[in-house]
């Protein structure tokens, strides 16, 4: 079964957490909005799917995934849904709940990283909320980033199966998402991120281990990996990098 991924075509954004899971598992998928319109893909196809009147499970926003007739949105819910098939989560209810808990904490940090450049309204330009952004980024870099990353470091150190993975002794979608979080933080906040990551060696090792997985490494080298840019969640504005 070929999955259909629906997400904004020019940014990594939240879609990247899903892309990484599909890529790491070698799952066949079509990145709909990045396809050619004359083949029925592209943005029009995504917007049609988003607004379909007869859809029983209409997503609130991209990303969403189509698995045959079934549509699922919300990054963490998508991952939770596909992970058993992709073998990116253990089957036990407790392991699934723990993996989800980590993923939701990553999602919280992603939202806070986004809000450093959009603390007032996602509908306004960054330039229209820059003083507020400077204040929020200061708190994010000084207080929130250390707090979150120290928690990920702690759970790696307390994993009874060892420090190689977040959940038990095998790769899960949460590891892929933590890799992406580190990528994003390093892009958006190079000084602040390096300062905090200097104290979290287990996270850095996990990031490097994920980057070296053959399928992930091939993906990162490919054109399917969209470069970071200043339209996505992680944006490099030097003034917000309070190192």
- Positions that interact with a second copy (CB under 8 A): 53-60, 70, 72-74, 76-78, 80-81, 84, 93-94, 97-98, 100-101, 104-105, 108, 111, 115, 119-121, 123-124, 129, 132, 135-136, 139, 143, 148, 151, 154-155, 158-160
Which C-beta is closer to a second copy: that of 71 or that of 197? 71
> What's the N-to-C CA distance of the chain in angstroms?
46
Burial 96-113 (b: 16+ CB within 10 A, else e): bebbbebbebbbebbebb
Report in angstroms how near the CB of residue 110 gets to a second copy at its nearest: 12
Q: Residue 40 or 84: which CB sits closer to a second copy?
A: 84
CB of 15 to a second copy, least distance (A): 15
Q: How far is the CB of 149 from a second copy (least distance, A)?
A: 11
Least separation, in Å, of the C-beta of 136 and a second copy? Answer: 5
Strands (E), the chain: 3-6, 29-31, 64-67, 70-73
**Distances from the Cα of 24 to the Cα of 35, 128, 218, 236, angstroms:** 21, 38, 10, 27
Compare residues 72 and 216 and give the one whose CB is closer to a second copy. 72
| SS3 category, 219 | helix
């Amino acid at each position: 079964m070929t999955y259909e991924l629906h997400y904004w075509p020019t940014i990594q954004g939240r879609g990247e957490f899903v892309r990484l899971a599909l890529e790491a598992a070698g799952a066949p998928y079509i990145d709909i909005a990045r396809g050619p319109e004359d083949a029925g893909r592209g943005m029009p196809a995504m917007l049609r799917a988003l607004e379909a009147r007869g859809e029983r499970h209409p997503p609130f926003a991209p990303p969403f995934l189509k698995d045959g007739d079934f549509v699922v949105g919300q990054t963490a819910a998508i991952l939770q849904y596909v992970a058993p098939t992709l073998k990116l989560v253990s089957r036990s209810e407790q392991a699934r709940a723990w993996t989800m808990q980590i993923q939701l904490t990553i999602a919280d940090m992603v939202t806070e990283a986004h809000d450093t450049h959009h603390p007032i309204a996602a509908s306004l330009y960054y330039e229209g909320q820059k003083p507020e952004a400077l204040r929020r980024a200061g708190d994010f870099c000084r207080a929130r980033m250390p707090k979150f990353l120290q928690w990920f470091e702690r759970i790696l150190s307390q994993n009874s199966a060892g420090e190689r993975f977040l959940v038990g002794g095998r790769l899960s979608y949460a590891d892929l998402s933590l890799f992406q979080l580190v990528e994003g933080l390093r892009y958006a906040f190079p000084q602040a991120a390096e300062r905090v990551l200097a104290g979290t060696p287990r996270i850095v090792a996990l990031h490097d281990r994920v980057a070296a997985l053959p399928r992930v490494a091939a993906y990162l080298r490919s054109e399917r990996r969209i470069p970071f840019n200043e339209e996505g969640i992680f944006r490099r504005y030097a003034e917000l990098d309070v190192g």
